[in-house]
Amino acid sequence: MSDLVKEGEEFLRKLDELGRVKRRWVSKDEEDTDPRYGYPPYRRPIDLYIRKGLIVIDKPPGPTSHEVVAWIKKMFGLEKAGHGGTLEPAHP
Amino acid sequence: MHSRKEYVALMELHREVDPEKVTAVLKQFVGRIYQRPPLRSSVKRALRIREIYYIEPLEFQDRYVLFRVGCQSGTYIRKLCHDVGLVLGVEAHMRELRRTATGHFREENGVYTLHEVSEALYLWRRYRYEELLRKIMQPAELIVANLPKIVIRDGAVDAIAHGAQLAVPGILRLHEGISKGERVAMFTLKGELVAIGRAAMDTNEILESKRGVAVRIERVFMEPGTYPSMWKRRKSCE
């Protein structure tokens, strides 16, 4: 198994743990991944890391979540950012 | 966002009550409760049932009660305080509220102020220093951490990015116990989120099948062109 595939597997195991998914993995087929395309999530170049990233914001009392999202968008110079309320992720 | 929530709330009783009595009444609200959304709310004001998973009193001081509550998405804590006041017979209202968790995103695992975000952006833009920004941001993949997952081969990625359904031959590995109609997240071998969708087959059917649609895609996250389009190439060879 290539290091990239191992890294991907480890990342998904970490996601399962975070999301409390207790299911086991089963294999149907095996294949390698081409290092020329895409990136392991934590090793994305910074601009892509931002575009495909989320921040958990400590929202001060006062401004609404919508206002805070608008400020975040402006700070990052993004057109697309979303929220689901306080302590919720931005949509990728 | 239909994940469970946790809050720390400050409730003000309109008359002082013995903490033991307050604790007992708070415990009565654990379980399924009726709530009508308040006048100023964004949802239909029909009586509905919400589940309270736990309530833990933290501090009592005069007429103030600080407590932690874990509840279903869509529970109004302001309403909960009001109702606790009614049961206590002294009336009460919510003074302050802070959300401490949404799903697996918890306050203690890192929340960042707008000032910290602003500083991290400045350091990156002015000095090309990325580390702070990388620390305060997380890959969007974390949003779907709670979903059952399917890993697909490189050659299947771009077809889905262009709107195709996920077919059985594209699948390399998957979680056990996926049932038909269940929401699943699809990933590349590197761990990148490709799309989310509804399973059209259960895990065993997928393992036993050679062809057919395995997942009906609901939302695509991968940009077209990130992975090469094998599907186009294959088509042109035919």
Split chain B (238 residues) into runs of 10 and give each run's mean pLDDT: 90 97 98 88 86 98 98 95 97 96 94 96 96 96 97 97 96 98 98 98 97 97 93 51
Chain A hits for B153, Cβ within 8 Å? 29, 31
Residues A37 and A50 in one domain: no
Chain B hits for A37, Cβ within 8 Å? 154, 226-228
Q: Which helix (H) or strand (E) holds B171?
A: strand B171-175
**Is the model's pLDDT at A79 over the cut of 80?**
no
Residues A50 and A18 in one domain: no
Chain B hits for A23, Cβ within 8 Å? 148, 175-177
Q: Which residues pair with B149 in a beta bridge?
A: B185
Contacts of residues B122-126 at CB distance under 8 Å and 24 or more positions apart, as own/partner, are B124/A46
Residues A39 and A79 in one domain: no
Residues A50 and A36 in one domain: no
Residues A69 and A92 in one domain: yes
pTM above 0.95, yes or no: no
Angle, in degrees to the nearest 10, between helices A65-76 and B114-127:
10
- Note whether A11 contacts B141, CB cutoff 8 Å: yes
Distance CA B40, CA A78 (A): 31
A4 lies in which domain range?
1-43
Q: What is the ipTM score, two decimals?
A: 0.87
Residues A25 and A52 in one domain: no
Residues A39 and A74 in one domain: no
Distance CA A42, CA A76 (A): 19
Residues A7 and A38 in one domain: yes
Residues A25 and A67 in one domain: no
Residues A57 and A76 in one domain: yes
Pick from A27, A43, A59: which residue ends a domain?
A43
DSSP letter at A20 equals T
Burial class (CB in 10 A: 0-12, 13-18, 19+), B34: exposed
Distant-in-sequence, close-in-space partners of B108: CB < 8 Å, separation ≥ 6: none
Residues A38 and A49 in one domain: no
Residues A12 and A36 in one domain: yes
- CB nearest to A15's CB, from B111, B141, B173: B141
- Of B86, B80, B68, B97, whose CA–CA distance to B17 is shortest? B86
